[in-house]
């Protein structure tokens, strides 16, 4: 058990929601970052409170630096930061080739998935690093198997953004390994969440399930369990590591 704070971006739905509930069950105080759906975020907080956990919801579009600064300021009021889960992420419309993509789409994907993750990590390092008087902690970045599959004819911009997340994970892990901070990434495969609907293909995961060696899609809880393991002391020798949770795909 712990009494430290975990900040989870994109914490109101899907993998973020499942991670918030799982982390609370392990004793973390949870800061549920959400981009727009306050009702969903409040419901996560209420569910945690109903199980005698502690949580708050904070609006945060990770493409906006001012929102990120506010998110961590609110986390400071809640307790000592012990972990960050960089789960906030977006996809553009699925099935769009690179020669059909607008600059605005690409910039938005990179701003949320890459720049947002780096800026959140920056704020976490400022608080957790022993160099800055912190007591250490863990950063878990959400990548995707798209980073190594490339997602041709689907969303190569999203795949590229997750490739950047992988590189950042390895580099940052080395950078802060001597300062009490571990950094890891999770690469989910086909998971049954609403991110596919956001890309215009709500049935995508189930439609492609036959491509997975285990012949099924994964669940948000299966990803959350891996994340909570990484932020726990049970993973104390894991850093600069990328864990595929993808059914073998």
Which range (2-6, 44-48, 115-119, 128-132) has the least confidence? 2-6
Whether 58 contacts 74, CB under 8 Å: yes
Whether 95 contacts 153, CB under 8 Å: yes
Domain count of the chain? 1
Domain harbouring 72, CATH code: 3.40.50.720
- Catalytic residues, by residue number, are 158
Which pLDDT value is given to residue 3? 83
Provide the pLDDT confidence category of residue 92 given band limits of 50, 70 and 90: very high
Which pLDDT value is given to residue 200? 65
Cα separation, 225 vs 248, in Å, equals 17
Question: pTM value?
Answer: 0.95
Tokens read off for 128: 């957790």
Whether 241 contacts 173, CB under 8 Å: yes
Strand partners, 29: 5
Residue 79 CB contacts under 8 Å (≥ 6 apart), including other chains: 3, 4, 5, 29
pLDDT tens-digit series, residues 181-227 = 999 999 999 998 876 556 666 677 788 889 898 999 999 999 999 99
Whether 15 contacts 188, CB under 8 Å: yes
Instruction: Region of 52 please: left (phi>0), alpha (psi -120 to 50) or beta.
Output: left
> Residue 116 belongs to what domain range?
5-245
- The helix, strand and coil proportions of the chain, stated in percent and rounded to the nearest 5, come to 50, 15, 35
Beta strand pairing call for 181-188 and 241-245: parallel
Q: What is the mean pLDDT of residues 128-151?
A: 98
Tokens read off for 23: 């982390």
Residue 237: pLDDT over 70:
yes
Whether 228 contacts 193, CB under 8 Å: no
């Amino acid at each position: 058990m712990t009494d430290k704070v975990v900040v989870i971006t994109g914490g109101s739905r899907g993998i973020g929601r499942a991670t918030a509930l799982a982390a609370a069950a392990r004793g973390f105080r949870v800061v549920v970052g959400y981009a727009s759906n306050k009702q969903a975020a409040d419901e996560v907080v209420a569910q945690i409170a109903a199980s005698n956990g502690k949580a708050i919801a904070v609006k945060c579009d990770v493409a906006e630096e001012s929102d990120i600064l506010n998110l961590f300021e609110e986390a400071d009021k809640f307790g000592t930061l012990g972990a960050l889960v960089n789960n906030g992420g977006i996809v553009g419309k699925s099935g769009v080739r690179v020669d059909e993509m607008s600059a605005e789409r690409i910039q938005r994907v990179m701003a949320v998935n890459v720049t947002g993750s780096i800026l959140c990590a920056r704020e976490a390092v400022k608080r957790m690093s022993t160099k800055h008087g912190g007591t250490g902690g863990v950063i878990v970045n959400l990548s995707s198997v798209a980073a190594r599959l490339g997602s041709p004819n689907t969303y190569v911009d999203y795949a590229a953004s997750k490739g950047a997340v992988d590189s950042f994970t390895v580099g940052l892990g080395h950078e802060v390994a001597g300062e009490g901070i571990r950094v890891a990434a999770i690469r989910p495969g086909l998971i049954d969440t609403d991110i596919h609907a956001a890309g215009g293909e709500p049935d995508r995961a189930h439609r492609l399930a036959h491509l997975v060696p285990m012949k099924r899609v994964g669940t948000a809880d299966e990803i959350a369990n891996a994340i909570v393991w990484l932020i726990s002391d049970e993973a104390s020798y894991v850093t600069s590591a990328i864990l595929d949770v993808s059914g073998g795909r």
